[in-house]
Structure 1
Amino acid sequence: MKINSQKSSKQTHKYIKHIELAPYNPDWPKLYESEAARIKQALGDNYIAIHHVGSTSVPSLIAKPKIDIIAVVVDLQRSIKTLEQIGAEYRGEYNIPGRYFFRKRGGIDVNLHGDIDVNLHIYEKDHPEIELNLMFRDYLRTHPAARDQYALLKQKLLQDKSSFEKNHRTFTEYTMRKGDFIREILKDAGFSSVRIIRCSDQTEWSAAKKLRKQYFTNIKSNDPNDLESCYLNAQNAPSAPAARRAFMDEDEHLALYKGPEIIGYSHIHLPGNNKPVIRILIIDENHHGQGFEEKFLTLIREFIIAS
């Protein structure tokens, strides 16, 4: 199934040319194994583990024909040069702090299997996104009804023209609108780890706004610190070509997750070479006194240091 959406210079929205969903291909695990061997060899002593994730790792599930791979390393920084040497293009963190994202286009065994793309996600050991992806994959593998429901959602999204819109953000609406389904599956799977994410989809921005308004009731719509303004600014900010960040240059808006539930929000100001400022750190009142304030602050400090 391939649906094309042409881009027009007169349109205010940014479109990608097409989103393609393909029936499950039994060659996908073979393609993963082939590329995994290359990645493992390239990483050398920086390598810890590697996993096939995403929809191509779930038998009988339709998927975009892109092989998603997680590689676990000792040192993120060391991975960039070695992976670039095997044709992987470093694209930055996107919305996940502590995740280095690479892509390869048309680079796996082309003579044998055709033009296949790779999305490569690099993490250091014990990053919660590793467990998240494995639990999501394994749940779909063992629950055919959930797998089929996910397939129907994908097909439904492709029937909606707005799914092709990016609105000058990093992700298409097709990707963003799968978020609530993924959170529901993670809940059913028992995922409970604590992690931070840059606010990206509507659910995350809405949760951040709700948390903020619990404590600040006099926010005006024209206030530059209003979450609605922040959301619109993030939507309209141009993508930075180096780090591919579709967020405001000097402000970060982080959601704190406990499993699939958003329990906290922080607004961090990063004024260039000046000292970073944590403007707001909020934990939902139902989670007070459970150590989440300290955990959130620790994750923010690590985020600032890495930035």
Structure 2
Amino acid sequence: MRIADYDPDWPRRAAEAVAALRSAAPGLFLGLEHIGSTAVPGLPAKPVIDLMGAVHDLADARPHEPALAALGFCPHDNGMTDRLLYVVRTGAGARSHILHVVTYDSWPTRNQRILRDYLRAHLAEAARYGQAKRALAAAGTPARDYARAKTAVVQELTDRARAELGLPPVPVWEKGDGPRRRPSQSP
């Protein structure tokens, strides 16, 4: 797993992908944004552009899958039941872009959007998160274990971000087989 220094080209790449997706699937997305670590200026990240798109109903995306695939966004099942996931892979098989498609009803309280905005507004927290990411990479954490390994810090930061907005804490791990927050854990 590789954590790269922040690349000022990431927002441009995200904007190009957003424009291409809107053009390929006109009227599908009610919201479409750059999320994840590559959307936070200065934050080191796995060099993968994460996007999140909101639709009225997840079923609305299915007829657009051929157009998404023409852009390289292929369906990917990773066990999340509250979204559709589409992944673009390079010729070497590495992910370059990930598109999370969620319902518009859930859009305002999506942890990924809330955490992105929190880190943009709290640079010291973003720096601390970046240090945690680099420590995991330096320790040789395999890519398949990376998300789980950073769950504690992501949960802490997301709880703070949600609290600032007056929202209750919720588990950040969304895969069906992932670690769950115990009710006794406080924010």
Give TM-score scaled by structure 2 length: 0.82
Q: Which has the higher contact order (CA 8 A, sep 6+)?
A: 2
The Cα of 1:201 is off from its aligned counterpart by 3.3
Which of 114, 118, 128 is matched with 1:139 structurally?
Answer: 118
* Partner-residue secondary structure (3-state), 1:104: strand
Report 1:1-307 matches (<5 A): 19-80=1-62, 81=65, 82-92=67-77, 94-106=78-90, 117-127=96-106, 131-161=110-140, 163-164=141-142, 172-189=144-161, 190=163, 191-192=167-168, 197-202=174-179, 204=180, 207=182
Taking the aligned partners of 2:32 and 2:127, their CA distance within structure 1 comes to 26
* Partner-residue secondary structure (3-state), 1:79: helix
Taking the aligned partners of 2:54 and 2:34, their CA distance within structure 1 comes to 12
Hey, what does 1:265 align to over in structure 2? none
Please say which structure displays the higher CA radius of gyration: 1
The Cα of 1:130 is off from its aligned counterpart by 5.5
1:54–1:197: structure 2 CA closer, same or farther, 3 Å change rule? closer
RMSD of aligned residue pairs (Cα, Å): 2.9
The Cα of 1:77 is off from its aligned counterpart by 2.7
* Total equivalences in the alignment: 177
1:183–1:129: structure 2 CA closer, same or farther, 3 Å change rule? farther
The Cα of 1:126 is off from its aligned counterpart by 1.8
Structure 1, unaligned runs of 5 or more: 1-18, 108-114, 166-171, 212-259, 263-307
Structure 2, unaligned runs of 5 or more: none
Higher strand share: 1
List, as ranges, runs of 4+ consecutive aligned residues in structure 1 with deviation greater than 4 Å: 193-196
Taking the aligned partners of 1:194 and 1:201, their CA distance within structure 2 comes to 14
Q: Is the 8 A contact 2:6 2:43 kept in 1?
A: yes
> 2:89 is aligned with what amino acid?
R
Percent identity for Structure 1 against Structure 2: 26
Further displaced range: 28-37 or 152-161: 152-161
Taking the aligned partners of 1:37 and 1:95, their CA distance within structure 2 comes to 28
> 2:134 is aligned with what amino acid?
Q
Taking the aligned partners of 2:153 and 2:18, their CA distance within structure 1 comes to 28
Taking the aligned partners of 1:118 and 1:20, their CA distance within structure 2 comes to 15
Give TM-score scaled by structure 1 length: 0.52
Q: Is the 8 A contact 1:56 1:63 kept in 2?
A: yes
The Cα of 1:145 is off from its aligned counterpart by 1.1
